[in-house]
Copies of this chain bind each other. A is one copy, B any other.
Amino acid sequence: MSKRKKKVGLPPGSVVYTGSIQDKNIDIHFIQYDEEHLEEKAYSNLSKIVFLHSSEVKVDWYDVRGIHDTALIEQIGKTYDIHSLILEDVSDIHQRPKYEEYKNGIFLIAKALKFDKTSLSVGIEQVSLYFKKGFVVSFQETETDLFLAVRKRIQNDKGKIRLHGADYLVFAILDIIVDNYFIVLEDIEVAIESLEERIIETQESSIKSEIHHLKKELLVVRKSISPLREAISRLSKTDSPIVERNTEIYLRNVYEHTIHLMDTVDTYRDVLNGLQDLFISEVSFKMNQVMQVLTIVSTIFIPLTFLAGIYGMNFQNIPELSWQYGYFALWAIMIIIFIGLLIFFKRKHWF
């Protein structure tokens, strides 16, 4: 978050990149399609890029991967008449998911998540979408191709995507982001289940920090889903002519998925809290057992050792010492004490 400091005091609308990637290439994938035609270009040399003026008949999608070149963002902004507050948000990777309607177009921020199973950590990629009739531009920070499946559906004839406009494309992008949340949560579920097993088998010290870690990662997921749910809800209810009635039923479907996701996240949090309690009680249960062994051994042998000490004393006049079977009598007494205490502990259910 320390990039915030750069921005304090700057006028609103200042396009400042707040991430840490500086030396990577910026890739721009361009697709133009309608029901019949399809044109695709991938630019990695930005000097050659030509920004077409959208026709509203075909759909133009610029998929920009890399946002550290603020000049490029400002150029795109100028070409397609995008409000400077939008450009500011695009270049700031610490935005909350949100939905904003402007006169010319609609702006959306979502967070694409990825779960790394070895480090059990959630990776975040901020996706900014700006669209109007026949035009969509998406921004992300890294080069990862998040929307391969969407492009495949455009390329194949099967998908209905070519029959619809820019709003349906945005739906398809959001749909794939939300679908990925399910996969992330599945992976987290697997991690939780393996934790649960390990708690019952062993009580390694590391488990508690893993639980703590997973809870933090779930907070990250929650912070990504919760405002996105609201954003999609508002998108699905918009009056804007940019979104067609037909698309809304699909958006409502995505909205239901986000509700489902929130439910699941909250359930997992409850489960993790339960695991934490379970871990603590497992540990204290084991300590209990250990303590009981100590108690039993001590409580039995301390009096016996005391008796042995008594007859180890060097008083000149200890009558028992000169008895013929004194030693054996003492053993008998000790064994009676030993067995008596064992029975006492058994009755108390101490072992």
Contacts and interface: CB of A to CB of B under 8 A. Distances in A.
Given A85-B249, A313-B312, A11 B161 contact: yes
Contacts of A96: 256, 259-260, 263
Given A9-B149, A152-B9, A309-B312, A291 B290 contact: yes
A315 B286 CA distance: 41
Given A96-B260, A278-B209, A291-B291, A267 B223 contact: yes
Given A291-B290, A317-B327, A150 B306 contact: no
Interface residues of A, number: 107
Interface string A118-145: 0000000000000000000000000000
* Most B CB within 10 A of own CB, among A150, A260, A282: A260
Contacts of A330: 313, 315
Contacts of A176: 8-9
A55 interface: no
Nearest to A349: B202
Q: Which secondary structure dominates chain A's binding surface?
A: helix
A10 B291 CA distance: 57
Interface stretch (A58-66, A211-219, A234-242): A211-219
A350 interface: yes
Nearest to A304: B306
* Most B CB within 10 A of own CB, among A175, A299, A310, A324: A310
B305 A302 contact: yes
Interface stretch (A27-35, A44-52, A68-76, A182-190): A182-190
A298 B303 CA distance: 9
Contacts of A202: 349
Contact of A283 (B288, B293, B310): B288
B297 A297 contact: no
B150 A9 contact: yes
Contact of A321 (B98, B186, B282, B314): B314
A302 B302 contact: yes
Interface in A179-209: 179-180, 182-183, 185-186, 189, 200, 202, 205, 208-209
Contacts of A314: 311-314, 318, 321
Interface of A: 1-2, 4-5, 7-13, 85, 95-96, 98, 148-150, 152-153, 158-161, 172, 175-176, 179-180, 182-183, 185-186, 189, 200, 202, 205, 208-209, 212, 215-216, 219, 223, 227, 249-250, 253, 256, 259-260, 263, 267, 270-271, 274-288, 290-295, 297-299, 301-306, 308-318, 320-327, 330, 349-350
The 3 tightest CB contacts between A and B, nearest first, are A9-B149, A308-B309, A311-B313
21 contacts: A4-B183, A9-B179, A11-B161, A12-B253, A95-B260, A98-B256, A208-B285, A212-B275, A227-B263, A276-B277, A286-B288, A287-B288, A291-B291, A294-B298, A297-B303, A301-B306, A308-B309, A312-B314, A314-B314, A314-B321, A317-B325
Given A12-B250, A85-B250, 19 more contacts: A8-B149, A8-B176, A11-B160, A95-B260, A216-B271, A219-B271, A223-B263, A279-B281, A281-B283, A284-B284, A290-B350, A294-B294, A298-B302, A311-B314, A312-B313, A313-B321, A315-B321, A317-B323, A317-B325
